Amino acid sequence: MRKIKTGSFFCGCGGSDLGLIGGFKYLNKKYKKLPFHVNYAVDIDKKAVETYNHNFKHNAIVKSISECKHKDMPEMDLVIGGFPCQSFSTVNPTKNPFDERGQLYKELAKVLKEKKPKAFIAENVKGLMVLKKGSIFKRVLTEFKKQGYELNYKLLHSADFGIPQKRQRVFIVGIRNDLNIKYEFPKNTHSNDNELNTKGWVPLSTVIDSLVHKNDKYYFSKKAVEGMKKAKNNMKRGLYQDLNKPCLTITSHLAKVSLNSRDPVLLVKPEEELYRRFSPREAARIQSFPDEFEFLGSQGDAYRQIGNAIPPVLMWHVAKALNEQVFQNTSLGIIN
């Protein structure tokens, strides 16, 4: 079976690409190899690309997608890309959704226009769907659709696929019109709904070896705790996680997390009001990275790379369904 040539844009440290390729183990479950081969990968973040190149046999390049020349790109059967989402965040409504980063989906659309892959997978934050009453999301869909693709999109919840994290992201999957296929998203493997015929959500405890961490640098000072207690009642204070449930969304700035933020922390000893942040490895596990995946750079670099990544397990399910519906479709003659 030939490999499906894939172009990976905004590849970051490689969460999406690891999921796409498969062949890894997470929480004692084997995610089999899929027939995808990344023959072109690019990201503007030098530190993230260093991590990417450390973990994959093929290399990514450091460059903005707007600087990439289409004629220099190889043939692609599939294009994937989690285009930058900071401009679409609902956490900070003052950000301009029409800034340069907010326009990069158009660069991805240009790749589709020039390379004409059989399919593409795009990913972004939940906020993209609701910002400006959904008008921006409609622009994105229109831009992709006019390149000649039948689209389907869905808000996927990481916890519904065996990941111990309450992370919701919108996935847009497009199939080239001439193939006459509409993509169907994979069914949930886990659920918080007892009526569904699935396993229950995976708790945070499965990826936290111990509440007590031997390294003091992960603990908040007494001053930080007192500051939290004095904060206004309407602030998000001490969002410590229940180990029996999935974790709140892992973000890119866990290195600077405070007890007054929206970011999740752990309460180690309630009687002593002892809190700590997650270590990079714990954050990576929450994102469904296997322990063998190594992050280069400082701890701040690692947190940023982890928080910006697409969870590999979630991407694996999306890619597996795409492979079965399109690339293993013998009636299309794509793979014999």
Residue of higher predicted confidence among 67 and 88: 67
Altogether, the residues listed in the chain come to a count of: 336
Whole-number percent of the chain with pLDDT over 70 = 91
Q: List, in order of start, the domains of the chain with CATH numbers.
A: 4-196+289-332 (3.40.50.150), 204-285 (no CATH)
Model confidence pLDDT, tens digit, residues 116-128: 999 999 999 999 9
The three-state secondary structure class of 190 is: strand
Is 13 considered catalytic here?
A: no
Q: Which of 11, 13, 68, 85 is catalytic?
A: 85
Residue 252 has pLDDT above 60, yes or no: yes
pLDDT at residue 92 in the model: 52
pLDDT at residue 260 in the model: 85
Whole-number average pLDDT of the chain: 91
Please choose, from the candidates 154, 209, 164, the residue with its C-alpha nearest in 3D space to the C-alpha of residue 311: 164
pLDDT at residue 1 in the model: 60
Q: Where are the beta strands (DSSP E) in the chain?
A: 4-9, 24-26, 29-31, 36-43, 61-62, 78-81, 119-125, 149-157, 165-166, 168-176, 190-191, 199-200, 247-248, 266-269, 274-276
Model confidence pLDDT, tens digit, residues 93-139: 555 455 455 689 999 999 999 999 999 999 999 999 998 899 999 99
